[in-house]
């Protein structure tokens, strides 16, 4: 059976290329909103943190209707892959819509997801957006997209991608630049024509794959996925299958998507992107199957956590001044709620009732949680990230990661050097149009602090992704500690901690507001001429000199604050204090 009444498509876009505006325009035209009703919330990435970091962390669904066909639009995560999320999301769809800015062209950050989509043989549609820009380079951008597809080894059918030219802002889409253009109709038409309709057995026993989880205070855990076979009804008896293990369960309510909302429904069927509630212990990757004829779908990979960090109640003298949530109860509830939906994350109790061990897929994964909690009003302390070692047959083993890096040629040397020092082993290198793809196996400990270093040393031109590779006997020594002090620097005014104790290299200034200045005492004989020009140079230099007369400071240019950057610098014993207003370093400690 072919469900001609459904299309499932994932949208891939670099931040700011207009994804939200485009979805809003499609919603508007599909009359999901009354004429006088504004799209109140722009949902596709309502999380402002996602916008700032230029990545999408949560995948969300939107549905638009056109000529009786429901088009489910699934958002894709950005370049960050938290434990296989990209593959899982792409598993729900039959095609992808690549949205590209008519001036900027395709950006490296979207390549990872696009590569996965092409590998999964999904049909691509290219939408060149912002054609109203006076500086648009539509035709060049079109060529750039073609080059990118060739480089990503798209097959012939994929290379023959349809292109739609759009000004999402003006609500216009057209099949050719020469067309006049009056509404979004041409994009709807291409979507319906080019994205294959779901195909499968609608009358067979139910098979549904849990792809993402959501949580709502009223209904609890919400499982989202695609019905691969059969039908799903509220209160249906099912079997949940997870590898070899199976258990019986009963569904609660079943939902479909309509516009930006989840709407209760009586029945969903093969091809539908569906949500249901009522099974609190459901997990990502599990198959929901017919109670009489249970058959599991192929398992989806969920990578193991490789890094842990201790989160604890803030017991500094400043605690409680800013936060809404400061007790261990608040912290505990929040963390345990997080793991309900964040599959590759784990939380464990520790000996102290005030501290919890949180494990995740890497620094970015943990940093995103910390930053989210800070914005929610939590006040806490976090320790340095530690690799999760395991004893396997009495041998100490460490996690390895498979790291893929794309960089322009000119940065190859620096990247190789940085990764060499981090014990990475190069296993593959390919020259692609103008840049290099390098693949490494690297101990997870070698990745700590690497993202920040990589972003700086490639001036933001590189992309990195890593997936779990496996455990191997631990051979190295634990990386050396950086001697130095970390100094909090609030509102560019004061330096409350530790200035007097600076003796040696390694000083970090972190301000709650961007830009952030980092400074480093570079050695005993350094002179003032070693200093880079920097807006805050004078103040820091004066302070530093007064604390230690024979040392000078080199200030690097202002950088955007990132927690990963900060973490790279801190010692084991140091804590990062996270408050709703800022993140600051505490305890200036020397070796
Ligand atoms: P997202 O980050 O991909 O969701 O991007 P948004 O939809 O938030 O758009 C980013 C910016 O581009 C906003 O300022 C939009 O108003 C603007 N924008 C979106 N579509 C267009 C367009 O077609 N033309 C122009 N000129 N600007 C657009």
Q: Which of 461, 469, 468, 464 is nearest to 450 (CA)?
A: 464
| Cα 507 from Cα 502, distance rounded (Å) | 8
Structure tokens at 45: 């990435």
**CA 11 to ligand 1 center in whole angstroms:** 15
Tell me whether residue 423 is annotated as binding: no
Tell me the angle at which helices 412-421 and 450-457 cross, rounded to the nearest 10 degrees.
160
Q: Tell me which of 21, 77, 130 to substitute to probe ligand 1's pocket, judged by most ligand atoms within 8 Å of the beta carbon.
A: 21
Task: Give the β-pairing of 583-586 and 575-578.
Answer: antiparallel
Structure tokens at 359: 């494990």
Most confidently predicted of 382-386, 479-483, 537-541 = 382-386
Q: DSSP string spanning 323-357?
A: -SB-SHHHHHHHHHHHHHH-TT-EEEE-SSTTEEE
**18-41 per-residue burial string, b: 16 or more CB within 10 A, e: under 16:** bbbbbbbbbbbbbebbeeeeebee
Tens digit of each residue's pLDDT (9 = 90 or more) over 154-168 = 999 999 999 999 999
pTM: 0.70
DSSP character at residue 369: H
Question: Average pLDDT of the chain?
Answer: 76
DSSP helix/strand/coil, 479: coil
Task: Say if ligand 1 is within 6 A of residue 584 CB.
Answer: no
pLDDT-derived band at 577, boundaries 50, 70, 90: low
Task: Say if ligand 1 is within 6 A of residue 231 CB.
Answer: no
Q: Tell me which of 53, 167, 168, 177 to substitute to probe ligand 1's pocket, judged by most ligand atoms within 8 Å of the beta carbon.
A: 168
Give the ipTM.
Answer: 0.99
| Cα 315 from Cα 34, distance rounded (Å) | 51
Task: Say if ligand 1 is within 6 A of residue 57 CB.
Answer: no
pLDDT tops 70 at residue 562: no
Q: Which residues contact 99 (CB under 8 A, 6 or more apart)?
A: 11, 12, 13, 17, 18, 19, 22, 127, 129
DSSP helix/strand/coil, 142: helix
Tens digit of each residue's pLDDT (9 = 90 or more) over 366-406 = 888 888 888 888 888 888 788 888 878 877 788 898 898 98
Radius of gyration of the chain (CA): 26
Tell me whether residue 17 is annotated as binding: yes
Q: Which residues contact 480 (CB under 8 A, 6 or more apart)?
A: none
Residue with tokens 């989210």: 372
Provide the pLDDT for residue 60.
Answer: 74
| Cα 298 from Cα 477, distance rounded (Å) | 39
* β-pair partners for 382: 311, 576
Tens digit of each residue's pLDDT (9 = 90 or more) over 509-529 = 333 222 233 333 333 323 332
Task: Say if ligand 1 is within 6 A of residue 133 CB.
Answer: yes
**CA 24 to ligand 1 center in whole angstroms:** 11
pLDDT tops 70 at residue 51: no
- CA-21 nearest atom, ligand 1: 7
Tell me whether residue 20 is annotated as binding: yes
**CA 131 to ligand 1 center in whole angstroms:** 11
Q: Which domains does the chain have, with CATH numbers?
A: 6-194 (3.40.50.300), 207-289 (2.40.30.10), 307-387 (3.30.70.870), 390-473 (3.30.70.240), 485-560 (2.40.50.250)
**CA 20 to ligand 1 center in whole angstroms:** 7
Q: Tell me which of 18, 26, 110 to substitute to probe ligand 1's pocket, judged by most ligand atoms within 8 Å of the beta carbon.
A: 18
């Amino acid at each position: 059976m072919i469900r001609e009444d459904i299309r499932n498509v994932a949208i891939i876009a670099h931040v700011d290329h207009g994804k939200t505006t485009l979805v809003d325009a499609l919603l508007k035209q599909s009359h999901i909103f009354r004429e006088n009703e504004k799209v109140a919330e722009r949902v596709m990435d309502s999380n402002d943190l996602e916008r700032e970091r230029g990545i999408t962390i949560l995948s969300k669904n939107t549905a638009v209707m056109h000529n009786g066909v429901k088009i489910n639009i699934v958002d894709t995560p950005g370049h960050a892959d938290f434990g296989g999320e990209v593959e899982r999301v792409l598993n729900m769809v039959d095609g992808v819509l690549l949205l590209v800015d008519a001036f900027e062209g395709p950006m490296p950050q979207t390549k990872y997801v696009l590569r996965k989509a092409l590998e999964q043989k999904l049909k691509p549609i290219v939408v060149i957006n912002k054609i109203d820009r006076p500086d648009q380079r539509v035709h060049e951008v079109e060529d750039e997209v073609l080059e990118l597809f060739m480089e990503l080894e798209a097959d012939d059918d994929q290379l023959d991608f349809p292109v739609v030219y759009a000004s999402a802002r003006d609500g216009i889409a057209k099949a050719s630049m020469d067309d006049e253009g009056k509404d979004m109709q041409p994009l709807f038409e291409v979507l319906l024509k080019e994205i294959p309709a779901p195909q499968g057995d609608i009358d067979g026993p139910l098979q549904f794959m849990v792809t993402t989880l959501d949580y709502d205070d009223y209904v609890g855990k919400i499982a989202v996925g695609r019905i691969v076979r059969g039908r799903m009804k509220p209160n249906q008896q099912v079997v949940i299958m997870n590898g070899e293990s199976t258990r019986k369960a009963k569904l609660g309510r079943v939902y479909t998507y309509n516009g930006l909302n989840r709407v209760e429904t009586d029945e969903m069927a093969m091809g539908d992107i569906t949500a249901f509630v009522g099974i609190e212990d459901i997990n990502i990757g599990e198959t929901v199957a017919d109670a009489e004829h249970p058959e599991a779908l192929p398992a989806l990979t969920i990578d193991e956590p490789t890094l842990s960090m201790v989160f604890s109640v803030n017991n500094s003298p400043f605690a409680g001044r800013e936060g809404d949530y400061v007790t261990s109860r608040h912290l505990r509830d929040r963390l345990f709620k997080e793991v309900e939906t964040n599959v590759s994350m784990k939380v464990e109790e520790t000996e102290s009732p005030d501290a919890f061990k949180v494990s995740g897929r890497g620094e970015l994964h943990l940093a995103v949680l910390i930053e989210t909690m800070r914005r929610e009003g939590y006040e806490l302390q976090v320790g340095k990230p530690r690799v999760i070692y395991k004893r396997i047959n009495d041998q100490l083993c460490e996690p390895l990661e498979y790291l893929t890096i794309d960089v322009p040629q000119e940065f190859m040397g620096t990247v190789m050097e940085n990764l060499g020092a981090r014990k990475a082993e190069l296993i593959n290198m390919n020259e692609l149009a103008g840049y290099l793809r390098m693949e490494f196996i690297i101990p997870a400990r070698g990745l700590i602090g690497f993202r920040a270093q990589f972003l700086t040393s490639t001036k933001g031109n590189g992309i990195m992704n890593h997936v779990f590779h496996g455990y191997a006997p631990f051979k190295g020594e634990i990386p050396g500690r950086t001697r130095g002090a970390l100094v909090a620097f609030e509102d560019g005014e004061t330096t409350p901690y530790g200035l007097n104790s600076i003796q040696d290299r390694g000083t970090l200034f972190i301000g709650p507001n961007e830009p952030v200045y980092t400074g480093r005492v570079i050695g005993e004989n350094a002179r003032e001429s070693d200093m880079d020009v920097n807006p805050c140079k004078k103040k820091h230099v004066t302070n530093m000199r007064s604390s230690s007369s024979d040392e000078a400071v080199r200030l690097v240019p202002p950088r955007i604050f990132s927690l990963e950057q900060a973490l790279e610098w801190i010692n084991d014993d140091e804590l990062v204090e996270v408050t709703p207003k800022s993140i600051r370093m505490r305890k200036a400690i020397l070796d």
